[in-house]
A and B are shown apart, each in its own frame.
Chain A
Amino acid sequence: MPAEYIDEWPPYSPQDLNRKQGVITAARMMINAAMTAPFAGGVPQIEVHLVYGQEEQEKIARKMEELAYETENRKLRRMFKIEAVMVRESDAVIFLGDYRARETPLDLECGMCAGPLGCSYVYEKNSSKLGLIDATDRRSDTLIKGPLCLARVDDLGYAVGSALWIASQLFVDARPFITVGIAGQKLGYCPNSDIVVGILVAAQAKNPFVDVHPLYHLINMKKVIDYTRKQYIIARVLTYDYRLWDPLEGEEKEEEEG
């Protein structure tokens, strides 16, 4: 009978990878809930990328740090930098995208996107012909290319909510982030979606997604350990031959070299 050892230390050790397997299983259950969430008309519109692993998560975090300096918005810059740390500390990332949010709106004239302007807003501000949106021009000088059909965005919210509810049921920590979603979308996850939300999932002693301080991008577990690695060895400058003398035993008659 095999025995699985599970512990969160050191990160990415065999015991930590065993622990992360549980989170990936939970993430699959969360994705089930996202797929069965209510949608207007029951119309399929959600695509999902489940991403985990040191290399993949580092790429997402780096993209978020890059985007931090592409925005003039100070709140968003702060969120990109802090939430990049959270991506590194997560056990898994779920990207939920809605591939109908810009290209195939609901067409109900519900008013969610522009009130009395109805569907005219989304069809005229995007490029369209005979009521078909031309999504081929994906250039944008904003992080999300809008305008989007907000009835579809509402449906994406239901999917996100359902995933978060199951996380809560399964006792894994999870929170939704638009910063993570934007970075993921630009890296090519959920490739058909104009809006993507990133849900970070973790099962560790401390919830990585709450209780952070103002310098979290500089002072977090990974960084603190690295600062220790940077500094500690230098303290070994206090050197002597441990075989011949023990400073803790007081003065000793040193043996003559024979």
Chain B
Amino acid sequence: MAVYDGNKLAKEQLFEIAKMVASAALRAPQITGTTKIRTEIVTGEDLEPIIEIMGEIGKFNVFVRWDYETYKAAYEENKNFPLLLIGADASKPAGFDCGACGFKTCREFAKFVKENKGMGGLFIGPNCALRVLDVAIACDWACAAAALYKVDARIQGSSGGAALMLGHLEGCTAVLGLPIGPPHDLVWFSRRTMHRKFDWEEFKKFILQVQPTIFLAFPGGGRPKIKDSDKWWEREVYPLIGVDEDFVKRKQEAMANIIKIIERVASEREKKNKG
């Protein structure tokens, strides 16, 4: 009789679980009955450009940075860690004339789609609300299936958006990413991968920007101070409303890098296909 390394096999098993999770997503009930759910499982080297783009978005988007750091750590540990992509072409109206998209009829909405279809921050739009409901029900059944097999998973717009930018699930507009595993308690919640990746100063800056009302001094004077230190009465610190040139520059540089990554990956793939 042989003895097996259970932890190693558990990591290998993630790929089999990803297939079963895709199956659950396809079985999910639908509101329209006509949304064509598509899935892809990305592993190994093909994860690298997705992670790279998430890193760029993470430079101006904190929740994506958190996802990027977790992916990077998971990929270092297990190169075949699977990312399940779930999506559909939700820009095709469902034919109900329900009005949720803001148009009276599906025909008018289809015209709006034709005139405006393109990439937004993380998704291609415009999209039909009832189709988005169907995609989301499928994604939720995928999450529940992963939970059934007891692997930590987290449905994400970040990985879905990065993958969409690289051409995954071509033809789909609403694509979400579901990392399957790694096999560990609390990977995507209370993330250990963020330990020692930020310090008090960075946290303080973050919380002051995100929750200014908690830290405002008396607002009745019309220009309340921000309590950015224990002895807040000693300094004249105020929130400044205006365009943050530095942040905008950082964002534009990251977006330019993303375009470079997409072009580089496309040419690498073309070379691979020719050779």
Chain A residues with CB under 8 Å of chain B are 37-38, 40-41, 71-73, 75-76, 108-118, 121, 125, 140-148, 150-151, 153-162, 164-165, 174-178, 182, 195, 197
Contacts and interface: CB of A to CB of B under 8 A. Distances in A.
B204 interface: no
B124 A115 contact: yes
A162 B140 contact: yes
Nearest to A34: B140
B136 A161 contact: yes
Contacts of B174: 112, 154
A177 B121 contact: no
Contacts of A142: 97-100, 103-104
A93 B126 CA distance: 31
Contacts of B155: 38, 158
B133 A112 contact: no
Question: Which A-B residue pairs are the 9 nearest by beta carbons?
Answer: A111-B120, A142-B99, A157-B136, A161-B140, A147-B102, A115-B125, A161-B137, A116-B118, A144-B100
Most buried by A among B30, B122, B138: B122
A143 B137 contact: no
Contact of B28 (A143, A145, A161, A178): A161
B134 interface: yes
Most buried by A among B95, B126, B134, B174: B126
B144 interface: yes
Contacts of A153: 100, 129, 132-133, 136
A148 B173 CA distance: 17
B71 interface: no
Contacts of B154: 38
Contact of B96 (A40, A76, A151): A76
A157 B122 contact: no
A178 B137 contact: no
B89 to A, nearest CB: 13
Contacts of A158: 136-137, 139-140, 143, 155
Contacts of B31: 176-178, 197
Given A112-B174, A115-B123, 16 more contacts: A75-B95, A111-B118, A115-B117, A115-B125, A115-B173, A117-B126, A118-B120, A142-B99, A143-B98, A146-B102, A155-B136, A156-B133, A157-B137, A161-B136, A162-B140, A176-B133
Interface in B169-188: 173-174
A110 B29 CA distance: 26
5 contacts: A110-B157, A142-B97, A150-B132, A157-B136, A158-B137
A46 B53 CA distance: 32
B144 A162 contact: yes
A210 B30 CA distance: 13
B136 A176 contact: no
Contacts of B140: 37-38, 157-162, 165
Interface residues of B, number: 47
A77 to B, nearest CB: 11
A87 B28 CA distance: 21
Contacts of A140: 99
B141 interface: yes
A184 B119 CA distance: 35
A143 B119 contact: no
Nearest to B117: A115
B7 interface: no
A160 B120 contact: no
A125 B138 CA distance: 29
Interface in B100-158: 100-104, 116-127, 129-130, 132-141, 143-144, 154-155, 157
A57 B96 CA distance: 23
Nearest to A167: B29
A153 B135 CA distance: 10
A163 B138 CA distance: 12
Given A164-B29, A195-B129, A145 B120 contact: no
A151 B101 CA distance: 13
A252 B103 CA distance: 80
Contacts of B144: 161-162, 165
Nearest to B125: A115
B95 A73 contact: yes
A144 B99 CA distance: 5
A31 B119 CA distance: 35
A165 B123 CA distance: 26
A81 B122 CA distance: 38
